[in-house]
Structures are given as structure tokens and as C-alpha cells.
Chains A and B, each alone.
Chain A
Amino acid sequence: VETAPKPGRDVPPKKDKLQTKRKKPRRYWEEETVPTTDGASPGPPCNKKNRELRPQRPKNAHILKKSRISKKPQVPKKPREWKNPESQRSLSGAQDPFPGPAPVPVEVVQKFCRIDKSRKLPRSKAKTRSRLEVAEAEEEETSIKAARSELLLAEEPGFLEGEDGEDTAKICQADIVEAVDIASAAKHFDLNLRQFGPYRLNYSRTGRHLAFGGRRGHVAALDWVTKKLMCEINVMEAVRDIRFLHSEALLAVAQNRWLHIYDNQGIELHCIRRCDRVTRLEFLPFHFLLATASETGFLTYLDVSVGKIVAALNARAGRLDVMSQNPYNAVIHLGHSNGTVSLWSPAMKEPLAKILCHRGGVRAVAVDSTGTYMATSGLDHQLKIFDLRGTYQPLSTRTLPQGAGHLAFSQRGLLVAGMGDVVNIWAGQGKASPPSLEQPYLTHRLSGPVHGLQFCPFEDVLGVGHSGGVTSMLVPGAGEPNFDGLESNPYRSRKQRQEWEVKALLEKVPAELICLDPRALAEVDVISLEQGKKERIERLGYDPEAKAPFQPKPKQKGRSSTASLVKRKRKVMDEEHRDKVRQSLQQQQQQQQQKETKAKSTGARPSALDRFVC
């Protein structure tokens, strides 16, 4: 019997204990509340589609509850109660009014199902069928388990709602700060750094640390929540881009000449001369790859775990200064001056795909966290959102008065665009929908032109680097409310971080596995399969898998004469032939029917008088 997973961090363990202890009078309505809450609020979908929140260790259980921002005061949630069916049954002897495991909503389960059942399988033997059945049963079981554990995603995303008719874009930061609690209000701040030019910034994967580098050499890293400075140096060279590596302890800085790596004390650890004149950096966390785009037109992948350059690809498109990664499949998107966006993987020398997006050059590219949508903006002042699921067609297009120079997606799919000194944020209807460009969700004006944008992970915060410094602004509903404590835990200690580092290194994905569709790895390599078959047939001289020709059984009493044997053989052959003919006829009929239906559907519009005919 499956037991419920351990409670998440939001439920203090003490409370839990209390609930389990006090069991004296069981009220009817208390019983009632449990299943309804289960059914009604499955919680928001988790960050990655394929990621599941696991029960947290007791160490993390006492972590402060993160503050969520909402314009309206939220109704305090009722304390959840944990139903423990075994204990109920054993002691009181009372009947369980809801026997069996708790029901799970079908849609939630569907979300975790991964077997593609749309494809019809050829007829299979009984043995194969049983194997398939086992696989399907396994899938169902695991997906139900995953759906059950969605219960642990207790946090809800923040939101901002205008009173009827009120435009949320008119709400300025000061209003939001006034409305939210103190802890959240502290997350809005401005760093006034006018001296060292426009800033690029980057949050660590846990969202706890912030690094920023000014064009004129100023590099700093800090724990932005507590505002504790980790290091601050001036590299005495132009800084093009800055990025945390897998943890906040390492920092890659693209300087004027070469790529440098610093630790969190500001000590230079490496100077990578093979990556020169780097303009943009991207870090692929699961592959431990640092992708660098250079002025010389090369896209270089550096494996930071072993310090080797995995691939150096020539994009053949001049200077590269627009780059972003697709978090879903770790493909790098490069924007070019001829209006195309090219998709790269270290395994291929040529781009995986090329998409013509704009008439002018591409200025910025961003891909959302599910890898479904790509936002691009070009010199033609257009902002487009593309569907990356095979079609690569624009879903929505907008002309901005001034074209967006920087774009970024938040974890929950908000899109931010930096245009001059203004930042516009658009939100979609739900999590899986693209941001609708009809109305901006929020706007904010900064003290200088924007130079770097990133949403902070797991926080409703947007970091903006501009010529006047760095601004952290509040964007309700931007961050994923529930984090995976084992994967990226904002509250982890040093020891935990080290543990995680080891595990992450063990689970490192090889660089050559990066491809457009990561699910393709779970497919059989058909070409080599066919090739192997052919070679085998050649080697053996016959096809071992071919169906053996019919051999009539010997019969007695003179019925096994040569003539009757031949007759029997002929009979079987004829039967097979007839089967084939029948099948082909059926196919033809089907095709004809399809054609007819197509012709009907595409034919002339039915006139209004047609209804009188039939």
C-alpha cells in the first residue's frame, strides 16, 4: 500500500504531528474537507513538465515560507489534514467512509503519461503483447503516483489583478511595493551604479545569487536576498557578459579579449584563451557546458566539468551577439543579421534548423522554459512569438514603437522586452499558453537604456541591468512557486550544495546527446537496424525471420500422394493470395473514400438551396 509522501516544506512538522496525535472526535465535515481539497486544487503545474517534486528532507522543512505577492489580500488557506487510513481502521474499528486510495483527477494523470498511443502498432504476438501491457501498466502506475504527489506543490503563484476596467500596466512599482509584505517589498531595489556603464546580470540557478558586470569592468556577485556582497572587483577590461556556472561558486565573465572564470571570492581561476572576443554566454546546467558566442563568428562549447572544449562551430554568419538557450532540449539559438535564427547543437557542424524570422537583423531571442515558444525581435521593430514544436511558424506578431533590444521569458511564461529605457512585460492566459501581446501586463521605466534582463528563478522578481545600474523589480506571477529541493534549492547550505554538485556531476548528460527532440533518444535507430538485418541476411544466405513456406504434413492411407500434396500446397498459396488481394482492395476503397471526403470538404460551398434537395 502506498503511503503518502512526506509533507513539503510549507507544512511545519510540528503541526503535522499535532494533527496526527489529536484523533479523538472525528467530525464528519473534517473528513469531508480532505478529498475535496485534493480534487479541487491540484496545485499549479510544476516547473518542468517532466520534473516531479519529491518530498523534502526534514532539514529543509523549517525553511521560511516564501512570500508571494498579490494585490488583493489572499484568503488564508485552511490547514491541510493528512489522512492516514491505516491508523483509522485499526484503532476505532469504524468503517472507512472512503475506502481505497484517494481518487486522482484524470487530467493530472494524463499530464505524466508519456507513451504515445496515437500510433497504431502492427499485429503482435502474445508474448510481445504481454510486454507491452506491462509497460503500459507501469506507466499508468508511475503517472498516478506523480499525480498524487502534486499535492505537495502547495504554493500558488502570485498574480496581479486590476479592479474592473483597471489596466494592470498602469500599476507602478511603488504601488506594488506598498501593497505587499515587507519581505517581498525588500526584493524591489535599485543599485545606482552610474560609473561603470551598462550592466549585464545573471541569477544563479537557485535564484539566490546575483552577478552583474558593467561594461567598464565592474564585476560583482551578491546574495541579493540578504544583500550580502560576495565579491566585487574591477577586471580593468570591458565586460561583455557574465554568467554563473553550475553553482554560485563559479562565475564566467566574457571580457574584451578572453573568457575568464572567477570564484565567489573574486579570484581568477582560469583564463580561457581559446574563447576569445566572446560576446554572449549561456550555461547548459545538465550538460555542464558553457556556450560562448564570439565576435569571430564561432560558437564554442566548453565543458566546465573537465575543462575541455567540446565543439567549436563556425556559424558562418558574421559577428554573433544574439544568443539564448532552449531549456527544454539545451539547443542554442543564435540570431543573425540576415533575419534568421539558427539552432545549434555541439553534435552537428551545421545548424539543426534555420528559421527566417525578420526582414532586418535579429536583435534578441528568448525561449520559454517549456521549450515551446520562442520570442524574437528584429530591426524591423517587430516582436514575434514562434511555435517551436515542429512548425516554427509565428503565432503572434506585434510592431513595437521602438523594437525590443532584449527579451526574456520567466519560468511561468511571462515575456519581458527591454525597449530603450522601458521594460514591458506581457502575460499569457495560463502557464502553457504563449504570452498574449495585446496588452502589457506591467511596464516600468528605468533610469537608463536596458542592457540585460533576466527573471529570477523561483521569485517574482525581474532583474534589469541598465546604464544606470541594476534594478530588481517585482513582477507578480513570474516565478515558479514550488521548487525542487533536491534540484535547485534556494535555501541550501554549503554542504548541501556540495552534495548536489557531486550528484549533478554523476548525472551529467553527454554533450552529444543534445538534439532538437530529446525524446528521439528513446527511439530505435531504424537505419542501422535495417542495415544490420540486411547484412545478416547476406551473411547467412537466407532470411532467418522470413516466414517458412508451407509444408504439408504427411498423411496416411494414401492421402499423402504427390498430387494431393501439391494440391494442398496450392490451396494454402491461393488462400494467401486471396488475402492479399482482399487487403489491397480494402486499401483502395479507403483511399477513395478519403479522397471523396476531401473533395467534398474542399469543394464549392453548399448553397442555401441545397437543403431543399435532400
Chain B
Amino acid sequence: MTANRLAESLLALSQQEELVDLPKDYLLSGSEDEGDNDGEREHQKLLEAISSLDGKNRRKLAERSEASLKVSEFNVSSEGSGEKLVLADLLEPVKTSSSLATVKKQLNRVKSKKTVELPLNKEEIERARTPLEQEIFNLLHKNKQPVADPLLTPVEKASLQAMSLEEAKMRRAELQRARALQSYYEAKARREKKIKSKKYHKVVKKGKAKKALKEFEQLRKVNPAAALEELEKIEKARMMERMSLKHQNSGKWAKSKAIMAKYDLEARQAMQEQLAKNKELTQKLQVASESEEEEGGTEEKVEELLVPDVVNEVQMNADGPNPWMLRSCTSDTKEAATQEDPEQLPEPEAHEVSESGGEDRPVAEEEILLREFEERRSLRKRSELSQDAEPAGSQETKDSSSQEVLSELRVLSQKLKENDQSRKQKASSEGTIPQVQREEPATEEEEPLLLQRPERVQTLEELEELGKEECFQNKELPRPVLEGQQSERTPNNRPDAPKEKKKKEQMIDLQNLLTTQSPSVKSLAVPTIEELEDEEERNQRQMIKEAFAGDDVIRDFLKEKREAVEASKPKDVDLTLPGWGEWGGVGLKPSAKKRRRFLIKAPEGPPRKDKNLPNVIINEKRNIHTAAHQVRVLPYPFTHHWQFERTIQTPIGSTWNTQRAFQKLTTPKVVTKPGHIINPIKAEDVGYRSSSRSDLSVIQRNPKRITTRHKKQLKKSSVD
């Protein structure tokens, strides 16, 4: 969490810096523009001079484009003519003698010719004639080696210019200190991370949260703009939480607890706590962000049409206080508090202003870093001047407030992050800006120092990744929420990528289904709308907006449907025994081959009834209550259930039939007369030959009811 926070804050800082950086660029371009303007003016002048050559008044009066303080005849201004007043001009005779002109020319020509000097002049050298020479020049150019002056390379020159020996020392000390601090910090973090006490971590976390909250409260009072940013960060954290499966009872711990939860009250509570936490973390903050409002533009239009009758209904229907109403009220006040102009307020910290630079311009970033160092150096110098030169080391300790340490850390980590990118881009960006060239050696010095330790790479990578994630999020923000959600989903279940596509199609279909413009009804009697005051109306509209702010009905429905489909799918059976025939233990998974071999795939069930109906979820569960009333055994002559179903499809009840038909359908097969005696069925009636024994038993039981036939049989048997 701490690393995460840190990264977030760093990112936020870098963004600020970017903002600050912009005006400087403008300044640079401005100076260039001025130069252009001057050239143009001169050209104009020249043209004018030429045009006025034939006239008597060769020298035009200097035009005064700007108002000067003293305008008098004594004030000679050379502005406008573009030439300096030269003494020779004044001394010259007014009329030049034509005879000397040729001589002058010759003299001039001689003057202009220069004697050959050795070693050859730079320009002459640069005119490389042979291909070999050209190659050599190229090489030299590339490596920044001096072509003409071998005393100092430009790099050396730059370094000389950049700092003196003392400065270099101080700089090194600074760097060392920064590195040491970073390592201390890392060591501390590692140590703290290693602590196994859960309680400790809990306490630390709680403390941090409290502190953050307090700071936030303060910030809100002091600096609403920053507070807003902070809020955004919180929102980001919420998004992260929503994206991740943290606190959703899905982790290893939660699973183990879930097993215990049945018997253990504490475990149950712990699980519930976790869920509550998830809820708390994913709870939406009530500040309506602009992007959301824009997004819901179309919906808003519809909602704007909403006539307050709906609201009336709601009010009438609800007996108790309306929760929406309450919410809207509170959010209104909050918004009022937060919606002060963030732009007008000054930047929170001065030194943060100086830090500037974006991620996309790593070179500039370094430059800025150096500038910062310079600034600090100058600051130190000033303090030296005032405080009679104290040793540098003590000074450093003096101004190392905790904030600075933090900021330095930030800067450092940022630079580390940038280094890789800058190296890649260096080849192309080299030599474009002289300033950069000048300062490059310094950065090059730092690089190896900072990248020496191999262990740090891990943390670096992590940091970078975090940064990237942040960027990713930032980019996604303006996009519609729906898409963002999808992109978040895809990495989670990569194997179902094609399915996702299908879903997409479905969703589009569903969208169409719900959003198609339907013709509105022309009604003669338009329902009367109670006139409302503007404020009330606005409030209600706001309320409705609030009510639908987080609602994406379609997405929710699709999610629900997906879950239902997943739940109804037959599950595969995994029979792999971990550790059987190979190494086992914690963190070791059985090999993919084994898993594949022992995975019993469940047969695909019949297609769902709602497969092609995007807006419907049909429950596919078997209704056991109705099944209890259904026929479950096929009667005799039927071999297929369809055949039997045909015979029972016509209802026979009097509800569905005419009286006659009902009577006919329900006539019994055998009709007996009332009062007629019906003897019980006997084996002989059916056609079976009965054994004498059974007969005897029958007789013994009810000897009175022996029929004549029986008697005959009995006689027979006795004879036999």
C-alpha cells in the first residue's frame, strides 16, 4: 500500500510539473519571434533606402516607432536607420572624388584577401574533400570531439562551465546523501514488511488511514483544490479496489476462513468484516465528476424531459423520508464546499513549482533536476555569505527537513524511472538543444551510480509498473465507463476472450433494444403539469440525476446473466492428486499434463433457452415441485414419451369441455348396477391355474364363501 501511495503522489507531482513547464516554452519561442521581426524591419528599411536613392533626400528622417521621453532636435536617434553612427562617415567629404574610387577598390580587394595560415582555419578544414576525410569528420562530429581546437572537448568545457571542483564535491555529497536516504528508507520498509505481527500491521494501517484523513481534512480547509486532487486519488484507489478482487472473500485466507465459517463465529465475523471493508472501499464518493456528467449527456437529455410528475409520484408513494432526497441534499452542500475555483488558488509549495517536467520528455526532466540542484546550491551560497561560511555537511543536515527528504525521494525515483526512457531517446534527441548538451555529463555521471546495485532493479521495476498503471488509468478516465470496465475484465479471464466478443455483440444488440427511439404518442389530452418553481425543479432534476448516476442497467443485467449462465454450467471434475508421482508441497502445482489427464470434462448441457435473448434470463433449474406431479413411468404400450404425451394432452375436466364431452370422456369402462353383488376376483377368473394349497388357505379363511365351483375343485383334488 505504501509503495502504491508513493507512486500515486509521485505521479501527481509530475503532472503538476508538466503544467508548470509549459509557459517557459512559450517564452523561448517568443524571443525567436522577435528576431524574425527585426529582420523584416531591416529589409523594409533597405527597400525604402533603395527607392529613395534617386531623390535628393537620401537620408530619411529616422522614424520613431516608440514614444521616447525626450523628443527634440538635439536628440539624434539612430534607431530605424539600422546603422551605427560611424566617425568615418562624419569625417568623409560630402562629395567623393571619382578618381580615387578605383584605387580604393583595389585596396579593399587586397584587404579582403587573407594570407594562408597554418594550421588551417576551421572553415577550410571543414571543407572535407576526400571521402576519408569526410568519414573522419563524421566520426569526430558524432563523438563531439573538437575539430579545430584540441584543448578542451565541448563536454569538458560544459563540465567546467557547469561546476567548479567544490561544487562537484558538494554535488557528489548530495547524491550520496540521497542514495543513502533512499537505501535507509528501503531498508526500513523491508524491515517493517518482514514484521509478522498482524496486529502491528493493523495498527500501522489504521494510523496511516487516520493520518491521511486528518491531512485531507486539513487540506480541505486550507486548500480545496489540492483536496479535490486528493479526492481524485481516493477515487482512483476505489477504482483499483473495484478492479481487484481484494477483500471479496476470494483470497486464500478468505477461502480457508469460509471453510471454518460454518463452525467458527470469529471466522464468520472476519469474513463479514472483509466484505464490509470491500463495500466501504468501493463505495462511491458523492462528488459528481465532470466526465461522468458528460458521459450521461444523452441520458440527461431524456431526463431533462422528465416531467416532475414522476417525482410527485415518488413523493406520494413513499411514506417515509425519501433516501434519494436526503442524499441529494447532503451532496449539494458538499459540492458547494468543494466547487471553489481550483485554478485561481496559488500552488501549494514553492519548490514544487520549480520541479517540472513530464513523463513524455525525459530530457527536460533531467535538465530540471539539475536546475533544482543549482538552485539549492545558490541558496546555500547565499546562506554561506550571510552566515560566515559554515561547513557544508552541517548545512545539509540543517535544511534537511522531512519534506525535502520526501520530495527528493520522489524526484529520485522519478528520475530513475525516466532513465531508461531517456537512454532510448538519447540517440535521437542528442544535440538538438545546446543546453541539454551542456548538462548531459552530469546526468551521465549519475546514471551508473544510481544503477549500480542490482537489487534495486526489482523495486525500480515495480515502481515503473506502478507508474504505468497510473498512466493507464489516467488515459482511461475520459473513456466511457462501460468500455473501461470491459478492458478491466478481459485480463481477468483471458481464455474467454472470444466469448467476450460475443457478449459484446449481444450487448450492442441489447443497447439497441433499449435505446431505440420510439415514436411518441400523440395524445389529445396532455396531462396537466403542475407548475413548479425553478429551484425546486432543478433540485428534482438533480435528484433524478443522482438516482441514475451510478446506474448502468444494461451492464448490471449482463453481469447477472453471465453469472447465471456460469452457475448453470456443469462443472468439470478435477481428479488430480497433488504430489502424486511428482514433487508436492506448498506452492507447487501438479503439472499441466497431469491436470489435463485427470480432468473429467462435464458434458455440454443443452443450449440455454435464453441463449439468443439478450434481455432475458430464464431460470433453467428443475422445478421439483411440479416434477413431483408429472408422470415418471411410461405406461405399457408406449415406447417413447412423446407418444404418451399425445394421449394426455387433451384435458378431460369439465372446466375445459362441454358437459356432454366431459361425461363421455369420464365414463367408466365397466358400469355396474346398484345393488348388484360383485364377487372378489379369483385366480381362475384371470386364467391362472391355482395350486390346491392356496385354495385351501382361502377356504380356511372364509369357509362360508365357498362357491360350487370351488367345492368341485376341492373334491377333485381330494380324489387325486
Contacts and interface: CB of A to CB of B under 8 A. Distances in A.
Interface in B607-648: 609-610, 613, 615-619, 621-623, 625-634, 637-648
B234 interface: no
Contacts of B316: 198, 449, 451
Contacts of A527: 622, 627
A381 B306 contact: yes
Contacts of A402: 307, 309, 526-527, 529
A532 B630 CA distance: 14
A400 B661 contact: no
A177 to B, nearest CB: 18
B551 A338 contact: yes
A149 B658 contact: yes
A507 B617 CA distance: 33
Interface in A16-52: 50-52
Interface stretch (A95-103, A126-134, A566-574): A126-134
Contact of B629 (A136, A348, A513): A513
Nearest to A391: B613
B606 to A, nearest CB: 11
A114 B651 contact: yes
Given A115-B646, A398-B520, A440-B524, A50 B651 contact: yes
Nearest to B613: A392
Given A347-B625, A350-B621, A401 B307 contact: yes
Nearest to A467: B316
A472 interface: no
B642 A353 contact: no
A520 B626 CA distance: 9
Nearest to B630: A525
Nearest to A426: B521
A24 to B, nearest CB: 31
B44 to A, nearest CB: 67
Given A132-B643, A238-B319, A522-B645, A399 B520 contact: yes
Contact of A146 (B644, B647, B657): B657
B525 A52 contact: no
Contacts of A345: 623
Interface in A475-511: 507, 510
Given A347-B626, A401-B526, A358 B514 contact: yes
A360 interface: yes
Contacts of B52: none
Contact of B659 (A5, A115, A125): A5
B529 A420 contact: yes
A399 B306 contact: no
Interface stretch (B138-146, B366-374, B552-560): B552-560
A415 to B, nearest CB: 12
A354 interface: yes
A529 B643 CA distance: 14
B619 A350 contact: yes
Given A122-B640, A125-B637, A512 B526 contact: no
Chain A: interface size category? 35 or more
Interface string A1-13: 0100100000000
Contact of A524 (B317, B556, B630, B654): B630
B523 A424 contact: yes
B200 interface: no
Contacts of A83: none
Interface residues of B, number: 83
Contacts of B622: 527
A131 B647 contact: yes
Given A54-B658, A403-B310, A121 B640 contact: yes
A527 B664 CA distance: 34
A419 interface: yes
Given A141-B661, A348-B623, A358-B514, A135 B647 contact: yes
B650 A528 contact: no
A169 B699 CA distance: 87
B383 interface: no
A441 to B, nearest CB: 12
A383 B623 CA distance: 32
A488 B548 CA distance: 46
B661 A381 contact: no
Contacts of B528: 420-422
A51 B524 contact: no
Nearest to B544: A379
Interface in A251-289: 256
A320 B319 CA distance: 14
B527 A401 contact: yes
Contacts of B527: 401-402, 419-422
Contacts of A358: 514, 553
A148 B659 CA distance: 12
B302 A443 contact: no
Given A2-B660, A114-B650, A124-B643, A142 B665 contact: yes
A121 B526 contact: no
Given A347-B625, A529-B633, A340 B557 contact: yes
Given A55-B659, A403-B309, A403-B310, A338 B650 contact: no
Nearest to B548: A360
A583 B395 CA distance: 99
A340 B656 CA distance: 34
A401 B618 contact: no
A583 B619 CA distance: 37
Most A CB within 10 A of own CB, among B309, B521, B619, B633:
B521
Nearest to B647: A135
Contact of B556 (A338, A439, A521, A526): A338
A381 B302 contact: yes
Highest count of chain A CB atoms <10 Å: which of B306, B556, B615, B664? B615
Contacts of A122: 639-640, 642-643
A382 interface: yes
A146 B662 CA distance: 11
Residue of B305, B529, B643 most packed against chain A (CB within 10 A): B643
Interface string A381-413: 111000000111110011111110100000000
Top 4 nearest A-B pairs by Cβ distance?
Answer: A420-B527, A512-B625, A397-B518, A525-B630
Given A359-B299, A381-B302, 15 more contacts: A5-B659, A55-B659, A124-B638, A321-B317, A339-B553, A359-B554, A401-B307, A401-B523, A402-B526, A422-B527, A439-B522, A524-B631, A524-B645, A525-B632, A529-B632
27 contacts: A5-B658, A122-B643, A127-B637, A128-B637, A128-B638, A135-B647, A135-B650, A138-B650, A139-B650, A141-B664, A148-B658, A345-B623, A348-B621, A358-B553, A359-B299, A359-B553, A399-B519, A400-B521, A401-B520, A421-B528, A422-B528, A440-B521, A510-B629, A515-B626, A523-B630, A523-B645, A525-B632
Interface of A: 2, 5, 50-52, 54-55, 114-116, 119, 121-122, 124-125, 127-128, 131-132, 134-136, 138-139, 141-142, 145-146, 148-149, 167, 169-170, 198, 238, 256, 321, 338-340, 345, 347-348, 350-360, 363, 379-383, 390-394, 397-403, 405, 419-422, 424, 437, 439-440, 443-445, 449, 451, 507, 510, 512-513, 515, 519-529, 532, 545
